Structure 1
Amino acid sequence: MTAVPAFTALKLFRVYNHYRVTVGIILLGALFLQSEASISQTFAPYYFRIAAFSYAAVHVFTAFIMLAGFQPVIRHIVFSILLEVSLVTAMMLFGTGIAGGLGNMLVISVAASNIILRSQLGLLVAAISSLCVMGQEIYLLLNDSSNIDSVFRAGVLGVVYFATALLVRNLSYRISASEDLARRRAQNIEELERLNHQIIQRMLTGIIVTNEFGQVRMANQAALSLLGHEPTETLDMLPDDLMERLRDWQLDPGRKSLPFRGSSNRAPVQANFAMLQKEEGQDILIFLEDTGKIAQQAQQLKLASLGRLTAGIAHEIRNPLGAASHAAQLLLESDELNTADRQMTEIILRHAKRMNGIIENVLELSRGKTSTPEMIDLNEWLKTYINDYTAGGTISADIEVIRHKPDIQGRFDASHLSQILNNLIANGLRYSTAKTGYPWVGIVIGEIEDTRQAYLDILDNGPGIDNEQMRHLFEPFFTTDKKGTGLGLYLSKELCEANQAQLDYFKRDEGGSRFRITFPHPKRTT
């Protein structure tokens, strides 16, 4: 037999004591309401009153001390029930014996003890109750106050006590087994709920559970991050952009929503919706995908395919292209070429070099070398980079560095960052010189206050880019320069995405262009 837990035994004993207090009050009321002649029919009226008062007083006292905070343990409960049996037996002894019907009260006591204790102690209470009832009736018989019939009735009542104990023990065992099963199931459900919560919170996909009116019931950390919130913040309502896409989906569930920016400093977010059925009503499950990561995965597939393609390009194109370039160089060295042929040969050589540059860029892109990001002190790193850049043949270039804070760090692969700045600075110097005649580029080092993300702005005084060109700015082989390959900006953006950073273009109010590299969050390591 499984013992009842202590907190359950205490709760049951508290309820049972309320019953005993009620019975005690009823007994006292009966004593005051009955006539003196009725009381005088008992064997010992004075002691009967004392036993009745004691029964009520003991249980009222027990109620008060439990109300004051006392928590009885099993031995206290057993003692209290045995004291109750003794007082009831005393009332029977000083009253009218078995004929008064007080022995029936012990049936409740035996049943309660087996419900509360659920152990061999319940049978002990039944045994003591039987012995007490039989003992007091035999005592009365020996004093000529009872008869054999009453003793027999006391024996039958003892059998009833044991039958009650066994029946209640069986029922208590079933109840205990059901409680244990319910408790284990509740524990399993609670553990599964905690496990599901941890899994949902650790998912890289943003998860939001909301109702049809946009009231958020749950949002994981990835969702908060994608929407530009801190992990410790609480999201009560959907943002306006997401709410607009939810309404569009409710009108047409088959329609694919357009990406949106949860934060001005993050990549666009793709939202997908699903209905979550419940017993009453329905909720909506929203999945938020970081399009930057999707683009990164697409980039890896693209680079794998491009790698296979460029292996053939390198063999099939570079060899004949090298031969043509070498032949053009030999022709230029000839003294027999006239001016027109020399110009045509220079065109051939120039375009051969341009084609070779395209192949070099494609090969560089196809290698897809895995990025190894590290924390970089941007102020110190830029000093070294600019010294190396100007020492490489661009001494006349005016590269102005504007620092907003003295200590700004970003996570990036240093070699990738060098390649990106090489492209952006070379473009900026070229377009600034073409418009103003002065090779100037500005580099702004800053930090976004809300997200603590570092950024670099590369500024120039060139003509800028119109809206039509902006749509294709980062596409491969798109260029506004006749001498360009159209792969510089594309390669730069691909390298940024490989480092989980962003490369964006903005027009400057004073004219010219501004390219911004937004570094990933410093705590974001994957």
Structure 2
Amino acid sequence: MRSPCPREGGHRPGWQALLQRGARPGDEVLMHRKPIAERLVRLPGDQTSQKRQMRLYFFYRFILAFGLMISFFTGVGPAFLGATDPGLHSLTVAVYLILTLVSLLLSLFNIGSAKVEYLFAIIVDSVAIATLLYTSGGPGSGLGILLGISIAFASQGMSGSTAMLAATIATAAVLTEAYVESATGIRSNPAYFSTLLLGLSYYALAFLSLELANRARTSEKLVKQQGRDITSLTELNEHVIQQMQTGVVILDGKQQIRMLNDAAWSFLGRPVSAIGHPLKEIYPPLATALDTWLLHPTSQQRHLHAQTEGNDLLVTFQQLGDPRKSAVLIFIEDASHTAAQAQQLKLASLGRLTASIAHEIRNPLGAIGHANQLLRESPDLKGADKRMTEIIDRNTARLNEVIENILSLSRRREPNPELVPIKPWLEKMSLELMENLGMHPKQMLVQVSPRNARLLFDPKQIQQVITILVENAVKHQDDRGEHLVITLAGGIDEMSGEGHLQVIDNGTRIPGDIIDRIFDPFFTTRNTGTGLGLYLAKELCDANDIRISYLPISTGGNCFKLKFRPDMVG
């Protein structure tokens, strides 16, 4: 029993199915990855950004308090620190350090609202630094600028009104400190003017920090929107590339596959895993063509014959970047479509002409055949003359067959597709073919999987296709005799969902140098052939939207495969 045609490559699950089951990122890089914008623009969310700013502010406050304590108790700081009231200064620094540590811990563990934490921090800073101003000689000590830094930090995470409130609290704190100095008589001439200027600087810092923060947030939103736009455009481009009938492959400098779309994956034989693998492992003929092009890049296009799909490929190479170590972009097109379109244009006018000529020849040819038949019935006909009448009869029959084929092409009816159960249809056809061709049951086998498979096509037209393929196998394998076995196979591929019909024989393989021409009109390898059989079969398949291809069998023999789209499977 003959085995079915070679598989056209392993099935690859759909992109969505792979995503749902969590496929490895290395399997299909094009679709199985994070959104493009996340790799192009990585920006934190609003809440994350505010938390980070708050923690940075609270960490600054803790370091400031720790530094003030170290500088005071070790004596490494300026002499004016705590000069007025050392006891109050040391107590203030210690309490300030504890409160800043508590605020830092609360922010790290996300306890409390940001607005309350900011206001509490500003109040603590204002009271603490104002007290330190009092114990260290007033505004002239320069400690007031520390409160300005706190306001600048805090304003970036506050709303406008809250930032102005913080500046007001800080200004009130330093003015209160100046009043206390005057009331207690520590300084007979308090620096109200410099204190007032310090307060105004707090308002200015709050306003500028708030404005800068708003602009930064606006810019961040703009960048995020641009990132989303890039994502949308990239996903659109990826979708377009995936839906293209032209195969697209991108190789890196080491000729490893970095990206390919569905069409390219199909052209390359549907490998189970291609991304990250060298091209020569996935599809050696294409790698060889690439090496040839790299050595002689005069012509960017190459023709390849895909054994897996049984069609011709038109391959175009293009370098990206530095020619010495750049990536390579490969476009793969189905050359048979282009060739078929060009051929249709040529044959359309030729068909009308030949049909007209065939019609005109048919009448005189019939007269010749009839006259030859009458001549053969003559009792006076000698042996040599009888031989001549047999030659006339055989050649008129051959010419009549050519005319019939041409006329059938010119007046071909539109297909009438039906959902046909494959198994009984093939079994009935095999019986008719065995009877017509004089074959015994062991020479004609039927294989269908699954047994209840149904396909959508015109049964009369596809029966004609199968008949042509079987008759060709018998005619071209005369030397096999009773050892010739023809298998009619059909069914549905469970993984890809595609349907198929196959005519397989165990005869001599078709030579590789003529495979590209077997479907051309008037091409034949037999002196008695018309060269229209396979061409007619292909025309009927095209009319039914079925792809016919030839696939040689490695162990010997031939396979003609009719492939049906998943939507033509019942």
For the aligned pair, the TM-score class normalised by the smaller chain equals 0.7 to 0.9
Query: Are residues 466 and 5 of structure 1, via their aligned partners in 2, closer, same or farther at CA, if it must alter by over 3 Å?
Result: closer
- Alignment partners' CA distance in 1, 2:94 and 2:323: 56
Alignment of 1:185-204 (within 5 A): 185-204=226-245
Alignment of 1:430-469 (within 5 A): 430=475, 435=479, 441-443=485-487, 445=489, 454=500, 456-459=502-505
- Alignment partners' CA distance in 2, 1:247 and 1:359: 48
C-alpha RMSD of the superposition:
4.1
Which residue of 1 is the match for residue 558 of structure 2?
Answer: 515
Cα drift, residue 215 of structure 1 = 2.3
Instruction: Indicate yes or no: 2:424 matched with 1:424.
Output: no
Which residue of 2 is the match for residue 487 of structure 1?
Answer: 532
- Alignment partners' CA distance in 2, 1:158 and 1:184: 39
| Contact map agreement 1:428 1:441 (CA 8 A) in 2 | no
Cα drift, residue 516 of structure 1 = 0.7
Match of 1:252 among 260, 284, 296: 296
> 1:499 corresponds to which letter in structure 2?
I
Alignment of 1:28-427 (within 5 A): 28-34=69-75, 41-43=83-85, 45-68=86-109, 70=111, 73-93=114-134, 96-117=137-158, 119-230=160-271, 234-239=275-280, 240-255=284-299, 258-260=302-304, 264-277=308-321, 282-290=326-334, 294-326=335-367, 328-329=369-370, 332-333=373-374, 339=381, 351-366=395-410, 378-389=422-433, 393=436, 398=441, 399-401=443-445, 403=447, 407=451, 413-415=457-459, 416-427=461-472
Give TM-score, length-normalised by structure 1: 0.81
Instruction: Indicate yes or no: 2:548 matched with 1:501.
Output: yes
- Alignment partners' CA distance in 1, 2:112 and 2:539: 70
Cα drift, residue 196 of structure 1 = 2.0
Q: Deviations over 1:1-40 (max 9, x none)?
A: xxx93322221222222211111111111231249x9777
Q: Deviations over 1:167-202 (max 9, x none)?
A: 333433443443333333333223322222222222
- Alignment partners' CA distance in 2, 1:350 and 1:402: 34
Cα drift, residue 59 of structure 1 = 1.8
- Alignment partners' CA distance in 2, 1:408 and 1:297: 36
SS in 1 for 2:156: helix
Cα drift, residue 431 of structure 1 = 5.5
| Contact map agreement 1:373 1:499 (CA 8 A) in 2 | no
- Alignment partners' CA distance in 1, 2:294 and 2:485: 49
Q: How many residues align?
A: 511
| Contact map agreement 2:103 2:117 (CA 8 A) in 1 | no
Cα drift, residue 452 of structure 1 = 8.4
- Alignment partners' CA distance in 2, 1:160 and 1:273: 66
| Contact map agreement 1:464 1:507 (CA 8 A) in 2 | no
| Contact map agreement 1:401 1:442 (CA 8 A) in 2 | yes
Which residue of 2 is the match for residue 20 of structure 1?
Answer: 61
| Contact map agreement 2:547 2:564 (CA 8 A) in 1 | no
- Alignment partners' CA distance in 2, 1:470 and 1:41: 103
| Contact map agreement 1:318 1:356 (CA 8 A) in 2 | no
**Structure 2 unaligned blocks of 5 or more:** 1-44
> 1:516 corresponds to which letter in structure 2?
C
- Alignment partners' CA distance in 2, 1:233 and 1:167: 55
| Contact map agreement 1:408 1:446 (CA 8 A) in 2 | no
**Structure 1 unaligned blocks of 5 or more:** none
Query: Are residues 153 and 430 of structure 1, via their aligned partners in 2, closer, same or farther at CA, if it must alter by over 3 Å?
Result: closer
Query: Are residues 329 and 405 of structure 1, via their aligned partners in 2, closer, same or farther at CA, if it must alter by over 3 Å?
Result: same
Query: Are residues 516 and 277 of structure 1, via their aligned partners in 2, closer, same or farther at CA, if it must alter by over 3 Å?
Result: same
- Alignment partners' CA distance in 1, 2:324 and 2:154: 43
- Alignment partners' CA distance in 1, 2:412 and 2:115: 73
- Alignment partners' CA distance in 1, 2:268 and 2:416: 27
Sequence identity of aligned pairs in percent?
Answer: 24
Query: Are residues 40 and 405 of structure 1, via their aligned partners in 2, closer, same or farther at CA, if it must alter by over 3 Å?
Result: closer
Query: Are residues 328 and 359 of structure 1, via their aligned partners in 2, closer, same or farther at CA, if it must alter by over 3 Å?
Result: closer
Cα drift, residue 162 of structure 1 = 1.6
> 1:489 corresponds to which letter in structure 2?
L
Determine which structure has greater relative contact order: mean sequence separation of CA pairs < 8 Å that are 6+ residues apart, divided by chain length: 2
- Alignment partners' CA distance in 2, 1:268 and 1:407: 33
- Alignment partners' CA distance in 1, 2:317 and 2:418: 37
Cα drift, residue 218 of structure 1 = 1.9
